[in-house]
A and B are shown apart, each in its own frame.
Chain A
Amino acid sequence: MIEVERLTKRYGPTTVVEDVSFGCRPGTVTGFLGPNGAGKSTTMRMLCGLTPATSGTATVLGVPFASLPNPGRHVGVLLDASAQHAGRTGRETLALTARVLGVPAKRADEMLATVGLAGKAAGRRVGNYSLGMRQRLGIAQALMGDPSVLVLDEPANGLDPEGIYWMRTLLRGFADRGGAVLLSSHLLHEVEAVADTLVVIAGGRVVANGAKSDLLASSGRTLVRALDQAALYTALTGAGLAVVRREPTGDGGEAFVVEAPAEAVGRAAAASGTVLLELRQAGGGGLEELFLTLTGRQTGPVAPSPSAPQEALR
C-alpha cells in the first residue's frame, strides 16, 4: 500500500536520504527504525509530498500522495505532534480536519473518545496539552478520514508506558483489519513489539529490511569468558572457532563473542583445560547489535534482555 523506490534527497552537497526503497503491505505494521538524523522524517515527508524528492518515487495506494484527491481519506498522517496551533482546542483542531475531509463533524468527538481525549481535555487549548496528549490528538487527527494507511513519525514520543501499550493495541488492530502502518522510531524496543516488518535506516541508507522474525532471530553466537583469556583464545582458534568480537565486562576484563554454539565453545575450552567463568548465548540478534552500533550505544556486557520489562506489555 506504500511503495518507496530509490528515494533520494540532497541538500547541496549533503545527501540526507540515499536510494531508499521499501514497501508496506496491507495488514502489516512496518517499523521504520534509525538513529536521530538518519533520514526517517525526511523520507516520510517525501512520501507525503511535503518535501520534494531529488530523485526516486513514492506512491500510496499505487499513486503519488499529491495525486490523491482527498488524501486524508486514504492516508492518516502524523509527522509532528507538536505542529498544532497552540491557541486552538483539541476539538476545534479535529473539527477543522473534519470539514476539510468532508466527514461528519461528530467524527471529531468519536475520535477524541478513541484516543482518550474526550470530555474536558477536548475543550482545552492544545498549547496546554502535554506531549503525550498531543500525540493522542495527532493520532486522532490521522484517523479522522477512516484511512487504510497510517504514516506516523515517532508517535510514541512523550507517551507513558500505558500510552505506548494503548498505541500498540490500536495500531495492531488497525493492521489486523487490513490497514498498513508505517511507524518510525529511534528505539528498537518501542516498535519491535508491534511491527511485523522492519526497515532500518542509517546515514540516509537502508541497512536492514525484512520480516522482524528474520531480523531479530538469534545470532547463534556464544559469549565466553575464561580465567585466562589468552589461553582461551589459543584454544578457540586451535579448534577453528572464530572470535568475532571482544566485549568488555563490567570489571574491566573482557569476554569473547564466538561464531559457534555453546557446546562447541565449551568442548574447545575443556580440551585445553581452560577454566571458564561464563558461557552463554550472546544476547540479542544481529539486528539488535546493528541497531545499537548505529545509535552509538555500546552493546556492553550484554544486559539481561532490556526488553524484559516490556514483555508484560505485549
Chain B
Amino acid sequence: MTVLDLTQAPARPPLTRLALVELRKMTDTRAGRWLLAIIALVAVATVVVFMAVRPADEQSAGQLFALSQIGVGLLLPVVGILAVTGEWSQRTALTTFALVPQRLRILAAKVIAAVVLATGFVLLGLALGVLGRGAGGLLGVASGDWNLPVRAIGSMLLVEVATVLIGVAFGALLMNTPVAIVLYFVLPTVWTTVGSMVKALRDASVWLDTNRAFEPLTGESAATGTEWARAGTALALWMVLPLAIGAFRLVKREVK
C-alpha cells in the first residue's frame, strides 16, 4: 500500500491564512454583515447625538472617540460569540475541522480575527473622533481640543480587544449561541448587582467584575498598578478561564 510522503504533501494552511478565512467568515453572511453594520451605525449615531445635545466645550476628539466605543464594547462580543458558536449551530464545524483537524489552530485563528475586528472598530472610532471634532468645528458646535493621547487609544484598544475575546471565550466555553449570548449579558449584571449588595463580595467585585475593573483603564488619568492588577484578574476570570476550558472541550468533543 502506498503511504503518503508527508514531506512532499501540500503544506498545512498557515495561521495567518486561517485567521483571514475566519475574519471573512465573520463578514460574509447576511447576519454577520448586518451585525457589523449595526455596530458601526451605533458608533456613528452615538457621536452624532452627543454632538447635537452637548455644549461645544465638551466636544473634544478624545471624548467623541471614547463615546464611539460604547456601542462597540457592548455589541462586538456578540460577533465574537457567533464566530465560535456559529460553527455548532450551523454545523459548519463538520467541514471546518475536516479541513483543519488541529482544532486549536481554528480557535487561535478566531481569536486573531476577533482582535483584528476590534482593532478595526477602534480605528473607526478614531476616525469618528477626528471627523466629529472637525465637522463640529465647521458647524460651530464643537470647541474641545483635538488631543487624542496615545495612552487613551492604547487602553481603549486593550479594553475592546479584551471585551471581544470575552465573547469568543464565552462562545468557546458554551458552544451554544443563545446560551452564550444570554449568559454574556446577564452574568456580569448579576455579578455587579450581587457584588454591590453582599458586603463580602463588594471587595472582591472590584477585582472580578469587568464593568468595574476595566473602568479606570479608559478614564481621564492613567490607571494605577492596583487598577491594572484588578483588570488583569477580571480578565483571567472572564476570558482566560472560559477560553481554556472551552479549548479543552473543543479538543475532546465529538464533531457531528
- A residues contacting B by CB (< 8 A) are 1, 3, 26, 41, 45, 48-52, 61-63, 65-74, 77, 79-80, 82-88, 92, 96-97, 99-102, 125, 141
Cβ of B18 under 8 Å from chain A: yes
Complex: A71 Cα to B2 Cα, angstroms: 16
Q: Which of A48, A50, A82 has the most CB of B within 10 A?
A: A50
- Cβ contacts under 8 Å, A96 to chain B: 21, 24-25, 28
How far, in angstroms, from A233 to B202 measured CA to CA in the complex? 91
Measured between beta carbons, the chain A residues less than 8 angstroms from B256 are: 41, 45, 50-51
Could you write out 14 A-B pairs with CB less than 8 Å apart?
A48-B98, A50-B97, A51-B254, A51-B255, A63-B3, A63-B4, A69-B11, A69-B12, A74-B4, A85-B86, A96-B21, A99-B17, A99-B20, A101-B13
A67 to B4, CA, bound (A): 11
Within 8 A of A (CB), among B2-24: 2-4, 6, 9-13, 17-18, 20-21, 24
B92, A70: Cβ atoms under 8 Å?
no
Is B90's CB within 8 Å of the partner chain A?
yes
Chain B residue nearest in CB terms to A144: B99
Q: Does B54 contact A (CB under 8 A)?
A: no
Residues of A with C-beta under 8 A to B93: 83
Partner of B29, one of A61, A77, A85: A85
CB-defined contacts of A41 to chain B, threshold 8 Å: 256
B91 touches A82 (CB 8 A): yes
Contact B4 A100 (CB under 8 A): no
With a cutoff of 8 Å between Cβ atoms, the chain A residues found around residue B92 in the complex are 83-85
A50-B255, A52-B254, A69-B6 as given contacts; A77 in contact with B98, CB under 8 Å: yes
Interface residues of B in 98-148 (CB under 8 A from A): 98-102
B31 within 8 A of partner (CB)? yes
- Chain B residues closer than 8 Å to A85, beta-carbon distance: 25, 29, 86, 90, 92
Chain A residues with CB under 8 Å of B95's CB are 77, 83-84, 97, 141
> Which of B2, B30, B255 sits near A45, CB closer than 8 Å?
B255
Interface of A is mostly: loop
Would you call B182 an interface residue if the criterion is a C-beta within 8 Å of the partner chain's C-beta atoms?
A: no
Contact B6 A67 (CB under 8 A): yes
In angstroms, how far is the closest chain A Cβ from the Cβ of B7? 10
Q: How far is the CA of A19 from the CA of B93 in the complex (A)?
A: 27
Of the four ranges (under 10, 10 to 19, 20 to 34, 35 or more), the interface on chain B belongs to 35 or more
**Given known contacts A50-B255, A65-B101, is B9 in contact with A99 (CB within 8 Å)?**
no
Task: Check B21–A99 contact: CB distance below 8 A.
Answer: yes
| C-alpha gap A305/B24 in the complex (Å) | 52
Instruction: Decide if A50 touches B98 in the complex (CB within 8 Å).
Output: yes
Q: Would you call B188 an interface residue if the criterion is a C-beta within 8 Å of the partner chain's C-beta atoms?
A: no
- Within the complex, what minimum Cβ distance (angstroms) separates A201 from chain B? 18
List CB contacts (< 8 Å) of B222-241 with chain A: none
Query: For B13, what are the chain A residues with a Cβ–Cβ distance below 8 Å?
Result: 70, 99-102
Q: Which residue of B lies closest to A88 (CB)?
A: B29
**A51, A63, A66: the one within 8 Å of B6 (CB):** A63
Please measure, in the bound complex, the distance between the C-alpha atom of A86 and the C-alpha atom of B32, giving whole angstroms: 12
Q: Chain A residues near B20 (CB, 8 Å)? A: 99
B49 within 8 A of A: no
Q: Are A79 and B24 in contact (CB under 8 A)?
A: no
How many angstroms between the C-alpha atoms of A99 and B24 in the bound complex? 10
Do residues A74 and B254 form an inter-chain contact, with CB atoms below 8 A? no
Q: Which residues of B contact A92 (CB under 8 A)?
A: 28
Q: Is B53 an interface residue, CB under 8 A from the partner?
A: no
Assess whether A45 is in contact with B90, with CB atoms less than 8 Å apart. Answer: no
A25 and chain B: residue at smallest CB distance: B1
Chain A residues near B24 (CB-CB < 8 A): 96, 99
* Alpha-carbon separation in the docked complex, A96 to B97 (Å): 13
- Enumerate chain A residues within 8 angstroms of B99, measured Cβ to Cβ: 71-72, 97, 100-101
Q: Are B30 and A87 in contact (CB under 8 A)?
A: yes
| A65, B102: Cα distance in complex, Å | 11
Residues of B contacting A63 with CB < 8 Å? 3-4, 6
Given A68-B4, A83-B91, 17 more A-B residue pairs with CB atoms under 8 Å apart are A41-B256, A61-B4, A62-B4, A63-B6, A68-B101, A69-B9, A70-B11, A71-B98, A72-B98, A77-B98, A83-B92, A84-B92, A85-B29, A87-B29, A87-B90, A97-B95, A100-B13
Look across to chain A and name the residue whose beta carbon is closest to the beta carbon of B252: A52
The answer for the CA separation of A65 and B9 in the assembled complex, in Å, is 13
Q: What are the interface flags for B19-44 relative to A under an 8 Å C-beta threshold, 1 for contact and 0 otherwise?
A: 01100110011111000000000000
Closest to A138 in B: B95
Q: Determine the distance from Cα of A47 to Cα of B91 in the docked complex, in whole angstroms.
A: 18
Indicate if the CB atoms of A87 and B31 lie closer than 8 Å.
yes
CA distance A101 to B98 in the complex (A): 11
Q: How far is the CB of B104 from chain A (nearest CB, A)?
A: 12
Contact B91 A80 (CB under 8 A): yes
A82→B30 CA distance, assembly (Å): 18
Q: Which residues of B contact A99 (CB under 8 A)?
A: 13, 17, 20-21, 24
Residues of B within 8 A of A67 (CB): 6
8 tightest CB-CB pairs across the interface, nearest first? A62-B3, A87-B29, A83-B91, A66-B101, A61-B4, A69-B12, A50-B255, A73-B10
Q: A62 near B91 (CB under 8 angstroms)?
A: no
